[in-house]
Structure 1
Amino acid sequence: MPRPRCYVASPLGFSETTRPWYNDVLLPALAELVEPVDPWSLTTEDEVAEAHAAGRDREIALEIGRRNIEAIRSSSLLIAQLDGQEADSGTVAELGYAAGLGLRCFGIRSDFREAGEAGVPLNLQVVSFVEASGGVIAPSLDALLVHLRAELAD
């Protein structure tokens, strides 16, 4: 049985301190259960640098967004990394878009700080999108993998 395509929404590719966990831990763990769709691999650093040098910053930004839209639309699941005082706005936008399309959405929030209304770990709308899609926000990668295994076993 083919593994479902799963878009991995996160800000982790922006920073050299978080890229290793994303590339060496998160993606391989997910690959055991799903076909991860890595938005960070859809555009090269050279493409961005060339566009910037040519004064085409807006064009490359919109192209990156278009590629991400296509990748989300080609997936059946989305996993969002939701740590931080506030969850990353681009990640949240991708999650909301995916939920609106009817994809099952999951989140990882290992950050123990509350960043939302009372009773929810972060913004109530983000939690509502995830739960309305049939997914959950897990407190760790291990807990997320447990939920994914159960989801895929059904």
Structure 2
Amino acid sequence: MAERPRCYVASPLGFTEAGRHYYAEVYLPALAEVVEVVDPWSLTQPWEVEQAIAAGRERDIALEIGRRNTEAIRSCTLVAANLDGQEADAGTVAEIGYAAALGLTCFGLRTDLRQSGEMGVAVNLQVEAFILESGGRIVGSLEELVRALAATGA
């Protein structure tokens, strides 16, 4: 069996209880069918954050999380970004921009019914431009995202 491409999964889903459930039970398993998932939410343990906060080192842990995520992005060839929300999450958008600049192929998932960004695009025009320039595209369902990732050579 051919080695599956490494795919960084950019999303704000880990911030809420409902998001964490969907992320762990639906989203990641679907992606794992076709790519090697690189999950930034698993790179830092809750106790690390709690200890840093207790010690007054919030900035240190925040920058460490950013460093870990940066390394994880650099270890991949693909990015799958969840772009739901009235506005796409700022951290997710930054990860797309960074990954696109590195030459990774980026895909966005936008299932949200609300208008986001400028007329004629699914999200902010620059985010969509980065995704398209990377060779990826924005899709409207998880199933379509899985198919798009699989088509990259998985």
TM-score class, shorter: over 0.9
Query: Corresponding residue for 2:131?
Result: 130
C-alpha distance in 1, partners of 2:117/2:39?
A: 27
Aligned letter for 2:135?
G
C-alpha distance in 1, partners of 2:56/2:117?
A: 39
Which is bigger in relative contact order (C-alpha 8 A, separation at least 6)? 2
Contact 1:113 1:121 survives alignment (8 Å):
no
Q: Deviations over 1:107-131 (max 9, x none)?
A: 1000121111111011000000000
Contact 1:108 1:141 survives alignment (8 Å):
yes
After TM superposition, list the pairs within 5 Å mapping 1:100-119 onto structure 2.
100-119=101-120
Which structure 1 residue ranges, 4+ long, deviate > 3 Å from structure 2?
none
2:3 is aligned with 1:2: yes
Query: Corresponding residue for 2:70?
Result: 69
2:44 is aligned with 1:34: no
C-alpha distance in 2, partners of 1:112/1:2?
A: 36
Q: Report the Cα offset of residue 9 of structure 1.
A: 0.3
Q: Give SS of 2:107's match.
A: strand
Aligned letter for 1:31?
A
| TM-score after normalising by structure 2 | 0.97
Contact 1:107 1:137 survives alignment (8 Å):
yes
Contact 1:114 1:120 survives alignment (8 Å):
no
2:80 is aligned with 1:79: yes
Structure 2 unaligned spans of 5+: none
Q: Report the Cα offset of residue 151 of structure 1.
A: 2.0
C-alpha distance in 1, partners of 2:52/2:119?
A: 44
Q: Report the Cα offset of residue 22 of structure 1.
A: 0.4
Query: Corresponding residue for 2:53?
Result: 52
**RMSD value, Cα:** 0.8
C-alpha distance in 1, partners of 2:140/2:106?
A: 15
Structure 1 unaligned spans of 5+: none
